[in-house]
Structure 1
Amino acid sequence: MSSYDPNAPHEPTLGPRGSTAAAPAPLAATAIDTKLIEQFARSYMKERRSDRRWRIFIRLLWLGLFALFVWALFNEQRKGAVPTGPHTALVVVQGEIAGETLASAEAVVAGLRRAFDDAGAQAIVLRINSPGGSPVQAGLVVDEIKRLKTKSPDKKVYAVCEELCASAAYYMAVAADEIYVDKASVVGSIGVLMDGFGFTGTMDKLGIERRLVTAGSNKALLDPFSPLSEADRAYAQTLLEQIHKQFIGVVKEGRGARLKETPDTFSGLFWSGESAVQLGLADALGSVDFVAREVVKAEEIIDYSATENVAERLAKRFGAAVGAGAAKAVGGGFTMR
């Protein structure tokens, strides 16, 4: 049995016609194979290092988010547990009054309850900057303010209106003992509306057929893709007027003899803060600091407003938000704004 020695001399190989054939080059083939293996190994190791870095980064990211969640939770608990001396409690109503917002009844009521429960809170100030929104959410806040004031009659509630205090926001404000505004605030808009769109003409032009099947003759009431009948309009108008009367009743109860009623008072018009004082819609000009210092006589202000921490923002359900936005864009709904 023989073996091949690359260093040993060898005879040239004869071709088919006696020509000399080239000898095999095993050294060159081996060098190429080795180079390919080295390149593959380097590429594999580089990919492994990259994957390892990404895994470490993802783990650190999740660890950071978890630490942020724990810190936010601990900070919220510690904030509610800090003992306080005499102060003015602040609850903020900012933006549209609607469910699942920081101006929802759930959020505002939570702040009010914490403020009333704190023995150090000498009075509560509602700082309002809102165009209005849901009469249901505003009504829930009004009812809770009445309940808390009955439970703790020594604690007064003051409303301080900033840029906007309109419709449902004013509905909420009239539950306070006194209302303070800036001279340029926009106040009032005591009315109710139902808005939406009608697409029947556009559908006819585009040749789109509306296919709607209902069980119940009024189930498709105010459907934006169907014509609005006079009966549907009359029914919706009756509902609006009923809610408007409720709004007027709350305003009259809250303002009492201070209200200087005119034919325009409940027409949906709005006024500057200066005019609102003259009409009895507000009591005086003043800011949160003014009320705390000059009215409550407790200059220190502590905010009891519900806040949306980082963990809550991360937990928001995107699908629910999209669904609510689509429903709002298509359908009506009673609003005060």
Structure 2
Amino acid sequence: MSDSQDGGGVMASEDRKLLEKMLFSTIQEQRRARRWSIFFRFLFFLWLFALVGSIMFSVGGGVTGKQTPAEYTALIDVKGAIAADKDANADSIVTGLRKAFDDEKVRGVILRINSPGGSPVQAAYIFDEVNRLKETRPEIKVYAVIADVGASAAYYIAAAADDIYANRGSVVGSIGAYMATFGFEGAMEKLGVTRRFYGSGDHKALTDPFQPEDKVAAKHLRATVKNIHDQFVESVKEGREGRLKDNPDLFTGLIWTGQQALELGLVDGLGSPGYVAREVIGHEDIVDFTVKPGFFDRFAQKVGSSAAQALGVSLGLEGPAVR
């Protein structure tokens, strides 16, 4: 065989390999395109399903399984941590309250509370709005009913009600405020890690856990937390005027059972939302005015972003919290 024939065979073989490679690449691109097409179709249908679900489940109000009665008791849930980015946020709760007070069929309002506390600011917003709404319709009474727990900022909200009810085993109280952080400067020194912080203002890094505690800033923070506590105490005294017992431990952050809270004047009676609607308000039919979060909000919370935020609240990393 001649050299030219050998060279032609090699070139033909290389051409085939190149052609095969091109064909294989084309097939891969087609497969990849199909996968992306399926993926985006799936996302579209997921979005469509979420949109329909959000419309169906986000609308509060109404009596499930029965015709709406002529007159009824309005119910608004205060559930979980109280914070601007949680279900128990001031905007949602205030919206539910306003809808209830605007409804001419409502004969009483129940705030069903099951919360360990949270933001003093969110609680104060709700406290003030409850008092404002009661002035618009004096005949409509607001009742707070504490389930498992109504502590700290949750009790702050409850104090705005005309009367507070709880179960004998409910956890009630925790009238206090705190701010918590960490100090890692010792651990950093042992690890040989140097902190570099650039800022302006003598106390700009007052809560930086990687630097030694600033004594002046610490004194200021204690005064700030005390001021928040004083505001809390003032609101509770305003809401519970004449009903609180003279007990030196009342505003120290301690908690009590519902039975103990009744003896201290922190609650007015023992009972459930159904009991209050039936025996106190006189209208046992309950219509839920709680503003429900949309599908995407619920989904995002379950995915995990809320877990990190809840951890931050629990550890006191999100600033002062009335709890």
| Counterpart check, 1:213 vs 2:198 | yes
Q: Which amino acid aligns with 2:250?
A: T
For normalisation by structure 1, the TM-score amounts to 0.78
Aligned to 2:322: 336
Is contact 1:111–1:304 with CA below 8 Å preserved after alignment?
yes
Give the one of 185, 208, 215 matched to 1:223: 208
Q: How far apart, in 2, do the equivalents of 1:251 and 1:77 lie? A: 33
Is contact 2:300–2:306 with CA below 8 Å preserved after alignment?
no
**1:74, distance to aligned residue in structure 2 (A):** 5.7
Post-superposition CA distance 1:41-84 (Å, at most 9, x none): 9xx99x9799769846753662353144135326656968x976
Q: Which has the higher contact order (CA 8 A, sep 6+)?
A: 2
Q: Which amino acid aligns with 2:295?
A: V
Give the one of 204, 214, 222 matched to 2:189: 204
Aligned to 1:87: 72
| Counterpart check, 1:73 vs 2:58 | no
Aligned to 1:62: 44
Q: Equivalent residues in 2 for 1:188-199 (5 A)? A: 188-199=173-184
Q: How far apart, in 1, do the equivalents of 2:53 and 2:215 lie? A: 58
Q: Which amino acid aligns with 1:65?
A: W
Q: How far apart, in 2, do the equivalents of 1:327 and 1:131 lie? A: 15
Q: How far apart, in 2, do the equivalents of 1:284 and 1:67 lie? A: 45
**1:225, distance to aligned residue in structure 2 (A):** 0.9
Post-superposition CA distance 1:90-122 (Å, at most 9, x none): 000011001111101111111111111111111
Q: Equivalent residues in 2 for 1:87-126 (5 A)? A: 87-126=72-111
Quick one: percent identity of the two aligned structures? 44
**1:306, distance to aligned residue in structure 2 (A):** 1.2
- Structure 2's unaligned 5+ residue stretches are 2-19
Q: How far apart, in 2, do the equivalents of 1:77 and 1:166 lie? A: 28
**1:224, distance to aligned residue in structure 2 (A):** 1.0
Q: Which amino acid aligns with 2:95?
A: A
Aligned to 1:271: 256
Q: Which amino acid aligns with 1:72?
A: S
Is contact 1:223–1:331 with CA below 8 Å preserved after alignment?
no
Aligned residues: 299
Q: Which amino acid aligns with 1:127?
A: R
> Could you say if the C-alpha distance between residues 199 and 57 of structure 1 is closer, same or farther in structure 2, counting changes exceeding 3 Å?
closer
Is contact 2:118–2:321 with CA below 8 Å preserved after alignment?
yes
Name the SS for the 1:334 alignment partner.
coil
Name the SS for the 1:96 alignment partner.
coil
Name the SS for the 1:153 alignment partner.
coil
Higher-Rg structure is 1
Q: Which amino acid aligns with 1:253?
A: E
Is contact 2:73–2:287 with CA below 8 Å preserved after alignment?
yes
Q: How far apart, in 1, do the equivalents of 2:58 and 2:293 lie? A: 10
Aligned to 1:21: none
Cα RMSD (Å): 3.3
For normalisation by structure 2, the TM-score amounts to 0.81
Is contact 2:57–2:292 with CA below 8 Å preserved after alignment?
no
Post-superposition CA distance 1:255-300 (Å, at most 9, x none): 0111102110011111000000000000000000000000111111
Is contact 1:159–1:178 with CA below 8 Å preserved after alignment?
yes
**1:231, distance to aligned residue in structure 2 (A):** 1.4
> Could you say if the C-alpha distance between residues 331 and 213 of structure 1 is closer, same or farther in structure 2, counting changes exceeding 3 Å?
farther
**1:218, distance to aligned residue in structure 2 (A):** 1.4
Q: Which amino acid aligns with 1:135?
A: P
- Structure 1's unaligned 5+ residue stretches are 1-14, 16-36
Q: How far apart, in 2, do the equivalents of 1:78 and 1:223 lie? A: 43
> Could you say if the C-alpha distance between residues 57 and 245 of structure 1 is closer, same or farther in structure 2, counting changes exceeding 3 Å?
closer
**1:240, distance to aligned residue in structure 2 (A):** 1.1
Aligned to 2:236: 251
